[in-house]
């Protein structure tokens, strides 16, 4: 092959590789499940779900020791507790409004706040509705810390919370970067 033909072939291959990279760059890649970016999208979805915004606006939200917010922390067991994300739920216009979703930045009080963790497979199954919230907690598929009686009274909205896992796009390719609590 002449040097000119070799040079032309190299330019052609670089163009093909470049166009593949460009098509991938234009593709929307969902955030990693339980990453800060995913938690932000989950927070936005929360605010559009009346079962959560209205269903948790009563006792669940107001059992907060007078702080004016509730924290929900979550993580995937296979990624470790250091990768937890946080949702901060506040009262707004008579609703339970998600004001923040991302890396932890609050100190939870598990007398009123919640921590949930499960394997990636169990989170995915719960998002698909199998098992339901009661069975998930009783069977140990979802590990749970927080005021159980308050949680049990909100089992209907909690089912909607778990099903939302299936409504917010995500990837399970790898683990989210560890968050930082402040």
| Mean pLDDT on 47-59 | 96
Q: What's the pLDDT at 171? A: 96
Flag whether the pTM goes above 0.85. Answer: no
Q: What's the pLDDT at 1? A: 54
- DSSP SS3 for 58: coil
Query: May I ask the CATH architecture of the domain 36-164?
Result: 2-Layer Sandwich (3.30)
Helix (H) / strand (E) containing 72 = strand 70-76
| Mean pLDDT on 11-16 | 38
Share of the chain above pLDDT 70, in %: 84
Q: What's the pLDDT at 24? A: 52
**How many CA atoms are closer than 13 Å to the CA of 2, on its beta-carbon side?**
3
20 or 66, which is more confident? 66
What is the side-by-side strand order in the sheet with 70-76? 95-102, 85-92, 70-76, 114-118, 143-145
Average pLDDT of the chain to the nearest whole number: 86
Q: Is the pLDDT of residue 23 over 50?
A: no
Taking only the tens place, the pLDDT of each residue in 125-163 is 999 988 777 888 888 899 999 998 998 889 999 999 999
CA distance 91 to 49: 15
């Amino acid at each position: 092959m002449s040097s000119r033909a070799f040079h032309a072939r190299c330019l052609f291959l670089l163009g093909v590789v470049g166009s593949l990279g460009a098509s991938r760059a234009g593709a929307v890649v969902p955030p990693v499940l339980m990453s800060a970016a995913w938690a932000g999208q989950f927070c936005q979805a929360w605010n559009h779900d009346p079962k959560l915004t209205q269903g948790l606006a009563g006792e669940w939200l107001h059992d907060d020791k007078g702080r004016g917010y509730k924290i929900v922390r979550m993580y995937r067991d296979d990624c470790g507790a250091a990768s937890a994300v946080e949702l901060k739920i506040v009262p707004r216009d008579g609703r339970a409004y998600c004001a923040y979703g991302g890396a932890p930045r609050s100190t939870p009080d598990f007398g009123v706040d919640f921590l949930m963790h499960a394997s990636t497979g169990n989170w995915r199954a719960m998002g698909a509705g199998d098992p339901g919230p009661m069975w998930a907690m009783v069977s140990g598929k979802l590990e749970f810390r927080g005021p159980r009686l308050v949680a049990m009274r909100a089992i209907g909205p909690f089912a909607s919370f778990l099903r939302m896992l299936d409504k917010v796009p995500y990837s399970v390719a790898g683990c989210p970067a560890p968050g930082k609590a402040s």
